[in-house]
Structure 1
Amino acid sequence: MTANDVTASNSTAATITKKPRRKRRGGLSIQSKLLIMLLAVSLIASVIVGVIGFISGRESLRAAAIDQLTTIRELRVSEIETAMQGAQDGVALDSRNLSAQTASIAINAGWDDLQNRTLTPAQEAELEAYYADTFNPQLTERTGDPYSDTAFLPTSNAGKWAQYHLTSKFTDFDEALNVNDGGDGTPYSAATEQYGDYLSRLVTQVGYEDLLMMNLDGDVVYSAYKGVDLGTNLNEGPFQDSKLADAYREVVATNSVNAVMTTDFERYIPSLNVPTLWVVSPIGNDSQVTGVLAAQLPLSTINDVMTGKERWAEQGLGETGEVYLVGRDHLMRSISRELVENPEDYAAEVIANGTPPSIADRVVQVNGTVLLQPINTVSVEKALQGETGTSISQSYLGGENITAYSPVEIDGLDWVAVARIDTAEAFNPVNDFTRNLILSLLGIMLAVSVLSLLLAQVFTRPIRKLVEAVRGVAAGNLAVEVPQGSRDEIGDLGTAFNDMASSLRIKQELIDAQQEENQKLLLTLMPETVAARYKKGEETIAEEHDNVSVVFAELVGFDEYTQTLSGDQEITQLNLLMRGFDEAAAKTGVEKVRTLRGGYLASSGLIVPRVDNVRRAVDFAKEMRAVVERFNSQHGTQIDLRAGVDTGTVTSGLVGRTSLAYDLWGDAVSLAYRVRSVTDVPGIYVSQGVRDRLQDSVGFTEAGTVDLRGKRQSVWRVG
């Protein structure tokens, strides 16, 4: 028996009888893995079914909410179009009936008579005082702008006469509506008294805000409320640039009693700058046109239609829904629901969404959004482009909402309608559905978890018994046996374990028989021989080792990285990497042999024989690459590692005499050095012997071949 045989026998015996119990490696147990698999399959299936149901149910509920909002928008648009068409038809009929025609002729004749009458200086002073003391202060309070006392004063004799005897006598518009005689005994007063009752009843019964009558010269010859527009000229007077004046000129130019013009809202000074909308139509018949009738539609007519008389909740719009109108200038043409219901919150909400504070405060002050509140939402933009559709976007109040938008078809008006409701409210059924679905899924998951835990425990019970038996063998108890139970693969594993334990007992008996003799031989040969050779002055003392794995690694790109570093910085960075490699060696149970600049030589199974030395060597190479990757992430570098691994017989010993060095050499070392240089690509490269030892436990790809002592060997790349 050689010394190597004795050493191998002693190592085997030590492995069986003296090897300490290993700590349990970190990781999941089979029961945990089985539990996870059962849970994963069941829970994934439940989640998939839940997600499909959620998506389907959510989309259905969302579609229902959008369809409801679209229906409400269509109803409101139809109602406003019908209401405006009715107003246009009504004004056209009123302007063509015989009473309007005779009234126009008589009032025009009386107006011509007034052109020959002049006010006294005292009367003119009284008229100017009316503007200075009554009308202008009210207008300034409303608009915030100052006006001169003569800014709106008519220039014609007839206009001044009519305003002095009618307009300046009233501070209450409702009182003025019932008075048509100026008390001056003129033909004009006689005509307005005769036909004023008819014209006033049009206002009260039809619901007009005001009613004006103009002659063909542009003079406002009659006003139901005797406002400051009475007596002015729409072609040359202070209101010649108003939308009313534009509509007047257009219908007169047609010379047709069938013409009807509708103006968009404008701030009309005679109405104290309140937004005003007019429907204008010529007075006369097919033979002649004698004048023009203009009816001012009340803003409440528009608001009542768009708000459903403020019964939003009853009409399917919930707590936040509304339908509003917007003009081409992006300003509202109807009132905002938020302003009606929550005026104290309105300003803060619109200001937060980009509305200037001055405008928001003005909206709250006048309690109206027409021609004040800007709307620049996606829905308004699309509707103004002629599109009809729905969207989920930000509202003018700042929150996310669902909208249904479309243009409004009204002659003379370029309006769009938008129906909106907060998404939180509109999709509240979706939220309820989602909550119920989640609760149901949680219940299913809980039940599945409990059932999976029970099944996993039942399945792994025999495996746990086998694990305890293996631990007993590892602790030196070779008499342990696993009870035979199931007739499946686990039962076969138990039988194989019992056979293995029996075989180990037989081998242990043989080893014990030779233990004493082997121990004596080791104590006499190994220490004495090495010491004697060193004392005799031998240059080298070497020992040969079988079944040792060698790792030879070198850094790639380190030289390029250190070109810009000083010597001290280079050493510092290299030490960081080498310390990491040393820690990786300790972690994986690998012995460090020596280090070079940019290189590292290590072995597994040299000092401490290990059955799994090949696996440990490959694991160490992987850990080295991980150390390099961490270094790269910390320092922003692009260094990598190329490592070669081989297994076989090596020689170790002391080299030198005055300065001793422990080194390693042999074919395994040479082959490990060569396989790592088979390619320039960084990675872990192993010999055919390493690949055969690891088999399918690690993934390999063929990387090339190397020549060693005239023999070609395949090289494999890990991963």
Structure 2
Amino acid sequence: MLMLLAVSISSIIAIAYIGYSSGQQALSQSIFNQLTSLRESKAYQIETYFKNLRSQVQTISEMPSIPNTMREFQEAYQELKQQPVNPEWNNKLKTYYEQEFLPRLAKNVKGTPLLFSYLPKSNTARYLQYHYIANNSNPVGQKQFLQDPMDGSKYSEINQRIQSVYRDFVDEFGYYDMFLIDIDTGDIVYSVDKEADFATNIYDGPYLTSGLASVVREIQKNPSPGFVAVSDFEPYRASYAVPAAFIASPIFDDSGLIGVLAFQISVDEINTVMTGNQNWQRDGLGESGETYLVGEDRKMRSTSRFLIEDPKGYLQAITNYGLPQEEVEHIRQLGTTVFYQEIKTEAVEEALSGQTDTNIGEDYRGVTTLNAYSPLEINGLDWAIIAQINRSEALAPILQFGRRVLFSTSIIVLLVTAIAGFFSHQFVRPIRKLTKGFKQVGAGETDVKVQVKAKDEFRLMAHSFNEMVENLHHQQQLVKEREKENEKLLLSILPEPVANRLKEGEEDIADSFPNVTVLFADLSGFTELCDNLSANEIVAFLNELVIAFDEAAELYGVEKVKTIGSGYMAVSGLSVPRIDHNKRVVDFALEMIRILRSFNRDRNINLKIRIGVNSGEVVAGIIGRSKFIYDLWGDTVNIAHRLQVRGAEDMVQVTEDVYARLTDVYEFKSISDIEIPGKGTIPTWSVSLN
């Protein structure tokens, strides 16, 4: 009896321990899986953000207006070298630095910044900083709203013309500032924000060791079109030592390299991604989880959640953990941990060495956390990403489960002690079944069912367990079915690459495609035909014809964009780059004519079709939020539509670009020029079925 009692009690304790251990392991693995998924999602967003920045800066630097503006500012800047600077202006500029700039800077840097180190040396810099900064009535941080200081200079005339355009661009795309820099002299001939770096020299001025100077030097070493240089975040003294990064690309004209287009990157966009717009609980990070970035210097590149939520408590925690008081004070003054919070944890060291994994260890506050980490693939930056959550919060459910198991075990032991011989077998069997069921659920199985024949609490527990698992299985099936339906619907209206970006959470999706071919087609005589048909007949009639067009488009490698009434728009070379996109579209256009003629013969009707085809650059993107469409726009689209409107029936009208590429393939006929609003007249050609 004693042996049976001992065995029973030991079994109960063992089962409780196994259940607890299995639950702890399953819960830990589930949390690690969640952290890993979140880490990958955030890493993709950050990597995509920098890829988009590089693409954007490269594209802008190659726009025709940028070299023109660069040359204008260079000439205007050189003219000001002969402009005298009034002594009163010098005094007012000196007063601005002594009373505004230096006191603000001194709060955020070591030591005492000296006036002569920052006061502009050149005549031009003093002239421009006086008119745009010192004599600017707008407060610090709003100097960019002055467009014309009314000094009558050619420089101010140019600034007045473009300032609002560039300022709106900087605000729209989340940059901090924009610069135009003379590559030969190093002069910052233009900036949007008009801070203390405005009009200074990047080669020998006060900011020659800054990140801005480093990207300019990088471009000097790689003076080729399309090159993009990036600098890491570091305190930038022109912005009062607020951490800033820079991205730049060369500016070329017919004479060669003439300047540098640079942007100052704010950490705000990065923080928005890493904090989920400060909605950590929505990201599944509970009360203590966060994702953050660390640079190769082991310092943060995004702001800590705990500084945002509880600045006082966070500063006390890092002080207690041993962070130097000077760094703590910088964090307090600037309200950010970027560049000032040093992190030398095991997770950071392994991630920066190129490893991707999970672990449990102390974080930068001395708190034990569950971590998922990996390096980031960002050209020019050696960063790591860490997703973590406090161990105490992550494992709280298993601790609660442990207390319940302990309580239940104590009750069972008392019962076994009283009637050990009779009930021991009945107690052990259902517990084992339930434990096995919990293990299977913990392993991801949702079709588990526990059968308990006993008519007691264990049967109720098994019934509750089975109901729980059944509900879980049902919910998973519903989620999977809904995901499949949503994905199928999404792919029916969007190209697959765009659909994937939308599913990843990207909101403003717009891409430039330098060379595609666009087709517009419209049925002639359809309106008159509809007068003799019912609504259902019209829909069936048009649907049959559009399906035939769609099948032909797929056959020729052409993508349908949309149909509007009797109009049909398609493109080739968009989602899938194609060298022969011009020929594919013209072949498809001729096939549309064949389809319509066959359609006319079968139904004894006489519909005609007008088709316009043009090649060139387009912008494609999603318009709208809850009810969105995927559309194309640009001059290429407008001209193709104009060709269709002005074109003859049952022939394909093309532009000179299409004609030049396919002149050896088709027999073209030159037809009259057409007027394009805002573009003048353009020559056109036609090709038709023999």
Task: Note whether the superposition's TM-score is higher than 0.5.
Answer: yes
Task: Give CA deviations for 1:246-304 in whole Å, capped at 9, x if unaligned.
Answer: 11111133222301111111111110111111111112358632211111122211111
Q: Which residue of 2 aligns with 1:65?
A: 31
Amino acid at match of 1:140: A
Q: Which residue of 2 aligns with 1:119?
A: 85
Q: Which residue of 2 aligns with 1:327?
A: 295
Which of 29, 35, 43 is equivalent to 1:77? 43
Length-normalised TM-score, structure 2: 0.59
Q: Which residue of 2 aligns with 1:250?
A: 218
Q: Which residue of 1 aligns with 2:196?
A: 228
2:107 is the alignment partner of 1:154 = no
Instruction: Give yes or no for contact 1:363–1:372 (8 Å, CA) kept in 2.
Output: yes
Q: Which residue of 2 aligns with 1:28?
A: none
TM alignment of 1:488-527, pairs within 5 A: none
Corresponding residue SS for 1:125: helix
2:73 is the alignment partner of 1:107 = yes
Q: For the residues of structure 2 that align with 1:298 and 1:136, how far apart are their CA atoms?
A: 22
Q: Cα gap change, 1:452/1:201 in structure 2, threshold over 3 Å: closer, same or farther? A: closer
TM alignment of 1:21-420, pairs within 5 A: 34-35=1-2, 37-143=3-109, 145-170=111-136, 172-216=139-183, 217-284=185-252, 288-420=256-388
Instruction: Give yes or no for contact 2:188–2:202 (8 Å, CA) kept in 1.
Output: yes
Deviation at 1:438, TM superposition (A): 2.4
Q: For the residues of structure 2 that align with 1:436 and 1:268, how far apart are their CA atoms?
A: 56
Q: Which residue of 2 aligns with 1:526?
A: none
Instruction: Give yes or no for contact 1:351–1:360 (8 Å, CA) kept in 2.
Output: yes
Amino acid at match of 2:270: I
Instruction: Give yes or no for contact 1:278–1:295 (8 Å, CA) kept in 2.
Output: yes
Corresponding residue SS for 1:275: strand
Q: Matched residue pairs, number?
A: 422
Q: Which residue of 2 aligns with 1:509?
A: none
Deviation at 1:234, TM superposition (A): 1.0
Deviation at 1:447, TM superposition (A): 1.6
Instruction: Give yes or no for contact 2:242–2:334 (8 Å, CA) kept in 1.
Output: no
Q: Cα gap change, 1:349/1:289 in structure 2, threshold over 3 Å: closer, same or farther? A: same
Task: Give CA deviations for 1:544-579 in whole Å, capped at 9, x if unaligned.
Answer: xxxxxxxxxxxxxxxxxxxxxxxxxxxxxxxxxxxx
Q: Which residue of 1 aligns with 2:543?
A: none
Task: Give CA deviations for 1:313-357 in whole Å, capped at 9, x if unaligned.
Answer: 111000000001111111111111111111221122222222223
Which of 415, 422, 425 is equivalent to 1:447? 415
Amino acid at match of 1:141: K
Q: For the residues of structure 2 that align with 1:146 and 1:416, how far apart are their CA atoms?
A: 34
Q: For the residues of structure 1 that align with 2:404 and 2:253, how far apart are their CA atoms?
A: 70
Deviation at 1:307, TM superposition (A): 0.3
Instruction: Give yes or no for contact 2:219–2:249 (8 Å, CA) kept in 1.
Output: yes
Q: Cα gap change, 1:79/1:434 in structure 2, threshold over 3 Å: closer, same or farther? A: same
TM alignment of 1:663-674, pairs within 5 A: none
Q: For the residues of structure 1 that align with 2:423 and 2:376, how far apart are their CA atoms?
A: 67
Amino acid at match of 1:153: L
Amino acid at match of 1:206: F
Deviation at 1:89, TM superposition (A): 1.6
Instruction: Give yes or no for contact 1:257–1:286 (8 Å, CA) kept in 2.
Output: no
Task: Give CA deviations for 1:103-137 in whole Å, capped at 9, x if unaligned.
Answer: 11111111111122231333223222221222112
Q: For the residues of structure 2 that align with 1:320 and 1:248, how far apart are their CA atoms?
A: 41
Instruction: Give yes or no for contact 2:226–2:249 (8 Å, CA) kept in 1.
Output: yes
Corresponding residue SS for 2:400: helix
Q: Which residue of 1 aligns with 2:403?
A: 435
Q: For the residues of structure 1 that align with 2:390 and 2:416, how far apart are their CA atoms?
A: 38
Q: For the residues of structure 1 that align with 2:229 and 2:412, how far apart are their CA atoms?
A: 68
Q: Cα gap change, 1:82/1:322 in structure 2, threshold over 3 Å: closer, same or farther? A: same
Deviation at 1:455, TM superposition (A): 11
Corresponding residue SS for 1:209: strand
Instruction: Give yes or no for contact 1:349–1:397 (8 Å, CA) kept in 2.
Output: yes
Identity across matched positions, percent: 35
Instruction: Give yes or no for contact 1:138–1:272 (8 Å, CA) kept in 2.
Output: yes
Corresponding residue SS for 1:142: coil
* Structure 1 gaps, min length 5: 1-33, 457-719
Instruction: Give yes or no for contact 1:243–1:264 (8 Å, CA) kept in 2.
Output: yes
Task: Give CA deviations for 1:7-38 in whole Å, capped at 9, x if unaligned.
Answer: xxxxxxxxxxxxxxxxxxxxxxxxxxx53x22
Q: For the residues of structure 2 that align with 1:454 and 1:201, how far apart are their CA atoms?
A: 83
Length-normalised TM-score, structure 1: 0.56
Instruction: Give yes or no for contact 1:107–1:191 (8 Å, CA) kept in 2.
Output: yes
Task: Give CA deviations for 1:512-559 in whole Å, capped at 9, x if unaligned.
Answer: xxxxxxxxxxxxxxxxxxxxxxxxxxxxxxxxxxxxxxxxxxxxxxxx
Corresponding residue SS for 1:277: strand
Deviation at 1:204, TM superposition (A): 2.3
Q: For the residues of structure 2 that align with 1:132 and 1:360, how far apart are their CA atoms?
A: 26
Instruction: Give yes or no for contact 1:131–1:150 (8 Å, CA) kept in 2.
Output: no
Amino acid at match of 1:384: L
CA radius of gyration, larger in: 1
Corresponding residue SS for 1:62: helix
Deviation at 1:244, TM superposition (A): 1.2
Q: For the residues of structure 2 that align with 1:243 and 1:204, how far apart are their CA atoms?
A: 21
Q: For the residues of structure 1 that align with 2:156 and 2:24, how far apart are their CA atoms?
A: 70
Corresponding residue SS for 1:143: coil
Q: For the residues of structure 1 that align with 2:336 and 2:423, how far apart are their CA atoms?
A: 70
Instruction: Give yes or no for contact 2:416–2:423 (8 Å, CA) kept in 1.
Output: no
Q: For the residues of structure 1 that align with 2:141 and 2:214, how far apart are their CA atoms?
A: 28
* Structure 2 gaps, min length 5: 425-690
Bigger drift between 292-301 and 201-210 goes to 201-210
Instruction: Give yes or no for contact 1:312–1:322 (8 Å, CA) kept in 2.
Output: yes
Instruction: Give yes or no for contact 2:107–2:333 (8 Å, CA) kept in 1.
Output: no
Deviation at 1:362, TM superposition (A): 3.4
Corresponding residue SS for 2:399: helix
Q: Cα gap change, 1:360/1:176 in structure 2, threshold over 3 Å: closer, same or farther? A: closer
Task: Give CA deviations for 1:396-416 in whole Å, capped at 9, x if unaligned.
Answer: 122211000111111111111
Task: Give CA deviations for 1:666-689 in whole Å, capped at 9, x if unaligned.
Answer: xxxxxxxxxxxxxxxxxxxxxxxx
Deviation at 1:178, TM superposition (A): 2.2
What root-mean-square deviation, in Å, do the aligned CA atoms of Structure 1 and Structure 2 show?
A: 2.1
Instruction: Give yes or no for contact 1:96–1:285 (8 Å, CA) kept in 2.
Output: no
Amino acid at match of 2:307: L
